[in-house]
Structure formats: C-alpha cells, structure tokens
Amino acid sequence: MCINSFILLQSAARFEVGGALTILIIGVAIFVGIFSLGRAILLWYWKVDVIVKNQEYQTSLLEYQNQLIAQQVDLFKKINAKSGSNLA
C-alpha cells in the first residue's frame, strides 16, 4: 500500500507544468477543430447558407415593394391634391 502511493507521488512529481500546458493547448486545438468540422457539417446538412440567401433575397424584394408602395401613395396624394378631392 505504501509503495503504490510512493510510486504515484513520484509520477506526479515528474508531471511538469509545461507538459500540462502543452496537453491543454493540444486538447483545446482538437476541440476547436472538431467543433468547426461538426458545425460545417450541420450547416451543410440543414442548408443554412441557402436559407440565409433566400431570406436576404426576400428582404430585398420587400424593400423594393415598400418603395413602390410609397411612390404609389405619393402619386395618389398628388392626384387628389390636383383634383381637389379629400379621399386621403
């Protein structure tokens, strides 16, 4: 029992801080790599880039539609002002 704890203490004493830091950095790098790969696969599978592109296109169409409606409202206001009608 005493010999086993002595061996463990010796192996713990040999474990250097620089080695632990290296292992930690390598572990974090592996985790980031796996996370990035998994994220890329999920985004590809669920076609997130296509969905975002379609939403941006829909937004641009809605903005154009709002501009046309605003022009139409201005035109109707001018027509009503010229005719003297109060149909606002």
In this prediction, residue 19 carries a pLDDT of 83
Average predicted confidence (pLDDT) for the chain: 86
C-alpha–C-alpha distance, residues 32 and 29, integer Å: 5
In this prediction, residue 35 carries a pLDDT of 98
Among 15-29, 43-57, 71-85, the least confident range? 15-29
The pLDDT tens digits of the residues spanning 36-75 come to 999 999 999 999 999 999 999 999 999 999 999 999 999 9
pTM tops 0.85, yes or no: no
Is the pLDDT confidence value at 9 over 90? Answer: no
Helical pair 17-45 and 48-83, crossing angle rounded to 10 deg: 50
In this prediction, residue 12 carries a pLDDT of 54
